[in-house]
């Protein structure tokens, strides 16, 4: 039996991910996850409200870290500079989670119920980031759009880094922001 | 009793929207929606698979129109020019739906189950638009990001137009694309 709560939590996540890949999300029960992790089902529910949430454990940490990084950015930065700086500050959270990240994204992509949850989590993070920008004095109109496009670039960078680990997440992030600038520069009404 | 299928469909949508606003989505049954629309419950299920879908009827039309507009854009346009042109082409679909749009957005915002469906629909449209860009020869990397940021600007414009109908949807759309350009131009690593 795992000794600490944190250890049980980590083993539950690992067990869930393995089972979702082996038999599919729908065919896996919380009892089976608990059994593979070497804990009982009550322990599962002490850590997670349902079998979807077990794959989204890092999201609240990521959201909190992003909001803090936006709040602490130096004054005078433009909204997207603020966001790029904040994303660079939280790269470490994703890098530490790298072994878990690739199989996790595969399971999510293959499971509609997990995809919906993933979209809801991304929307929640985007709204939190927009709120953090508003608290820095960015207008309602710009804060929402800035959060959406910044998050789109960050998300793109994470996916590219999963697909191509030969470059660092930071390199992919800078590349995605280059793409964002290049694409938007030509977002003019066609003649 | 409504005579045609299209008329029954429209009445079911209207009835559902009224009931969701009056008592909330969770407290409304498909039988009640059918009764208010003056049809039987079997007719409801001939038109819609569930009581969520009844609010997302226009999405497949919008997606098809967007994909067609992207496919038919003149050669040589940049990805975001192509998308802006496509969004302008489909404004009419949204304008025709204007009376339905505002209460619909309010109900969605207030109902988590509908918000999840709304996010899934938006993701499906974004993926379809990215695919239409890829078919024009835009790279995988740029097509996904272009679709996401273009859709973010379009979505922002629709929301702004609902909040402020004194300007046309087209004016709000051009404004949102201006915002997109201005925000992205400063998306540089902070010193």
Collect all residues with Cβ–Cβ distance below 8 Å to B86 and sequence separation of at least 6.
B66, B69, B70, B73, B129
- A29 and A54 in contact (C-beta within 8 Å)? no
Q: ipTM for the complex?
A: 0.88
Which of these, B94, B151, B153, lies nearest to A142 by C-alpha position? B153
Phi, psi of A75 (to 5 degrees): -65, 155
Statement: residue B23 has pLDDT above 80: yes
pLDDT of residue A15: 95
Percent of chain A with pLDDT over 70: 98
- C-alpha B6: how far from its chain's center? 20
Collect all residues with Cβ–Cβ distance below 8 Å to B58 and sequence separation of at least 6.
B93, B97
Average pLDDT over residues A146-167: 95
- A106 and A166 in contact (C-beta within 8 Å)? no
Report residue B95 as tokens: 């304008």
- Sorting pLDDT into bands at 50, 70 and 90, what band is B191? low
pLDDT of residue A34: 96
Collect all residues with Cβ–Cβ distance below 8 Å to A68 and sequence separation of at least 6.
none
pLDDT of residue A191: 61
Q: Search chain B and give the residue with CA nearest A76.
A: B190
Collect all residues with Cβ–Cβ distance below 8 Å to A164 and sequence separation of at least 6.
A172
Among B80, B123, B188, whose Cβ lies nearest the Cβ of A186? B80
Q: Search chain B and give the residue with CA nearest A176.
A: B145
* B36 Cα to chain A: minimum distance (Å): 31
Statement: residue A1 has pLDDT above 60: no
Among B81, B142, B190, whose Cβ lies nearest the Cβ of A187? B81
Looking at the complex, does the CB of residue B162 fall below 8 Å from at least one CB of chain A?
no
Average pLDDT over residues B164-186: 95
Chain A CB contacts of B78 below 8 Å: 183, 186-187
Average pLDDT over residues B25-30: 94
pLDDT of residue A189: 81
- Sorting pLDDT into bands at 50, 70 and 90, what band is B3? low
Among B142, B148, B189, whose Cβ lies nearest the Cβ of A84? B189
pLDDT of residue B31: 96
> Does the distance separating the beta carbons of A119 and B119 come in below 8 Å?
yes
pLDDT of residue A36: 96
A59-73, A77-91, B97-111: least confident range: B97-111
What angle (nearest 5°) sits at the alpha carbon of residue B91, between those of residues B88 and B97?
A: 175
């Amino acid at each position: 039996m795992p000794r600490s709560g944190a250890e049980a939590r980590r083993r539950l996540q690992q067990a869930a991910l393995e089972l979702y890949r082996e038999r599919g999300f729908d065919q896996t029960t919380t009892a089976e996850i608990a059994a593979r992790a070497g804990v009982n089902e009550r322990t599962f529910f002490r850590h997670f409200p349902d079998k979807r949430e077990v794959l989204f454990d890092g999201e609240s940490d990521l959201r909190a870290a992003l909001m803090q990084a936006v709040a602490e950015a130096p004054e005078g930065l433009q909204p997207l500079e603020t966001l790029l700086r904040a994303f660079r500050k939280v790269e470490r959270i994703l890098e530490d989670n790298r072994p878990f990240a690739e199989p996790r994204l595969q399971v999510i992509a293959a499971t509609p119920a997990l995809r919906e949850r993933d979209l809801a989590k991304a929307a929640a993070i985007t709204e939190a980031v927009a709120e953090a920008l508003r608290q820095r004095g960015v207008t309602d109109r710009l804060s929402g759009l800035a959060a959406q496009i910044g998050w789109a670039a960050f998300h793109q960078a994470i996916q590219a880094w999963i697909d191509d680990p030969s470059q660092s997440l930071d390199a992919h992030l800078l590349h995605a922001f280059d793409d964002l600038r290049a694409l938007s520069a030509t977002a003019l009404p066609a003649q």
